[in-house]
Amino acid sequence: PNIKERRDYSCALFDETGRAVALGDHMPVHLGAMPMSVTAALHSLGRLQPGDVACLNDPFNGGTHLPDITLLTSVEDPSGNVLGYVASRAHHSDVGGMSPGSMPLAREIYQEGLRIPPVRLFVGGQRNEDLWKLILANVRTPEERAGDLDAQLAALHTGRERLQELARRRGTDQTRSAMRALIDYADRLVASGIERIPDGRYQAEDFLDDDGFGATDIPIRVSLTVRGSSLTVDFGGSAPQTEGGVNAVAAITHSAIRYVVRCIVESLLEDPLPAGGGSMSAVDVRLPARSVVAAALPASVAAGNVETSQRITDVLLAAFGEALPDVAPALSQGTMNNTTVGGIDPRNDQVFAYYETVGGGMGGGPTGPGLSGVHCHMSNSLNTPVEALEHAYPFRVTHYGFRPGSGGSGRHRGGDGLRRDLELLTDATVTLLSERRVRGPGGRNGGGNGAPGRNLLTVDGEERELPGKATFRAPAGSVLSIRSPGGGGWGIPEVLDS
């Protein structure tokens, strides 16, 4: 259901050099990382021959976190030369590791699941059966994984066919030229948008609640320097990588930068960028080594992809807000409220692994209030419909609705968060990776903060508060309640004339 129902996947098209031509808009956390996957695969494997399919998930070699598996294949023109590449990335709800769902509270990446460096899953159109068996032997739900990998392969097949069809209709040279022109056009738009930002240096900082192992108030700091049509993004002063899994690899930070720059530029130009967003050649990124924004082995990274990416987005928007107070919105929920549950389904005696992120409040903005109960910023996936969830897993949804009043006050209010209660119908292992449980998302320009989120577990009628990050056993009949943060408000609330 995570891929089929929630659409936690991305597909992308690249030119023959590996530059992004078109990226799926709905999953920004994949945007900046997908080009790095292509680069890593080609660097490790050399040229992909017709029918070869590269596979990877290693966060330190082209990936982001282990559940996100990327498949890549080349597209040849009629002469057999590489015309471009197509890739698909999907979040698999289990890739092994110490906890069901492969989003554990871990101290090092080796505990998080199966690491796949760039390898050939297909060679000349023939599946590497030994590798296929190895992958499926290391996951809790091999049938689901096989089906999801087959879906990714089907996406590659469709992408390859359509690019080749375009080349047949328009000609190979014109197709290559059009892809280059699209990238160059996007780069010109980005440079033009940056030129509309006043020259200067703009700074912001924010904090992660904790890493799950004792570290608290983990700082992320950014400095933006605008000079004409160029932008320097410097994360100097951000925390060193931590013991817990809130570490983000560089690809995640690049994804957040690409997303925020795109949002700001499109707002300033009042015109959308092409789907690939260009190469962002006008943006210079500086990341401190072995930090929470550029982690290195053996760091655990599961939450860096889903939680730290949101905080990086927050600090970038706050810094742009210093330069453009009438453009940048208030902060949104700032977390994905990651929930994983695994065990044995009593209906069929099969292992199950459930993973979901829960929407929350979007920050109010200069043009209107924030939306309520949505995935936003680095997520943007859907929720799992109640019917699909109860069909696939031994759960009963006992409550699903908004948290009224959780959005921050303001001229334009923040959106409200959600409350989702799951009654577990079997004993299960639960892992939570969530943020904004200590302080709520900030308002902008005098707007109020959104309410922090909460995690609760009720066992035998007794309710207890859970931390933002935890792994625990929950008995059958217990109720897990995820209550997501509201968004911050924008602007000073208007007082109505009596």
> For 459-468, how does the pLDDT look when each residue is reduced to its tens digit (9 = 90+)?
999 999 999 9
Q: Where are the alpha helices (DSSP H) in 342-439?
A: 386-392
Residue type, 254: H
Distance (Å, rounded) from C-alpha 34 to C-alpha 37?
A: 5
Residue type, 210: D
Distance (Å, rounded) from C-alpha 117 to C-alpha 429?
A: 29
Contacts of 38 (CB under 8 A, 6+ apart): 14, 18, 62, 72, 85, 87
Q: Where are the alpha helices (DSSP H) in 324-416?
A: 386-392
Q: By three-state DSSP, how is residue 462 classified?
A: strand
**Interior angle at CA 486, CA 485 and CA 491, nearest 5:** 145
What was the pLDDT predicted at 498?
40
68 bridge partner residues: 91
Q: Phi first, then psi: give them for residue 267, nearest 5 degrees.
A: -65, -40
Q: Where are the alpha helices (DSSP H) in 324-477?
A: 386-392
Residue (of 312, 52, 274, 309) closest to 183 by Cα position: 274
Burial of 154 (0-12, 13-18, 19+ CB in 10 A): exposed
Return the structure tokens found at 452: 């922090």
85 bridge partner residues: 14, 74
Q: What is the mean pLDDT of each run of 10 residues along the chain (498 residues)?
A: 83 94 85 89 96 97 95 95 96 95 96 98 98 98 96 98 96 96 95 98 98 97 98 99 98 95 95 87 97 98 97 98 96 97 97 95 97 92 92 97 97 98 98 98 97 98 97 98 98 68
What was the pLDDT predicted at 4?
80
Q: Give the neighbor-by-neighbor strand order of the sheet with 479-483.
A: 395-402, 418-424, 479-483, 454-459, 462-466
Distance (Å, rounded) from C-alpha 44 to C-alpha 72?
A: 13
End-to-end CA separation in angstroms for the chain: 52
Residue (of 491, 418, 493, 490) closest to 451 by Cα position: 418
pTM of the model: 0.95
Return the structure tokens found at 207: 């904090």
Distance (Å, rounded) from C-alpha 120 to C-alpha 143?
A: 21
What was the pLDDT predicted at 55?
98
Distance (Å, rounded) from C-alpha 237 to C-alpha 240?
A: 9
Contact criterion met (CB below 8 Å) for 106 and 112: yes
Contact criterion met (CB below 8 Å) for 361 and 417: yes
Distance (Å, rounded) from C-alpha 290 to C-alpha 247?
A: 9
Contact criterion met (CB below 8 Å) for 218 and 246: yes
* H or E element, residue 397: strand 395-402
Q: For the chain, what are the domain ranges?
A: 9-188, 329-498
Burial of 350 (0-12, 13-18, 19+ CB in 10 A): exposed
Q: By three-state DSSP, how is residue 149 classified?
A: helix
Contact criterion met (CB below 8 Å) for 20 and 12: yes
Residue type, 283: V
Return the structure tokens found at 382: 């859907």
Cα dihedral sign for 117, 104, 395, 387?
negative
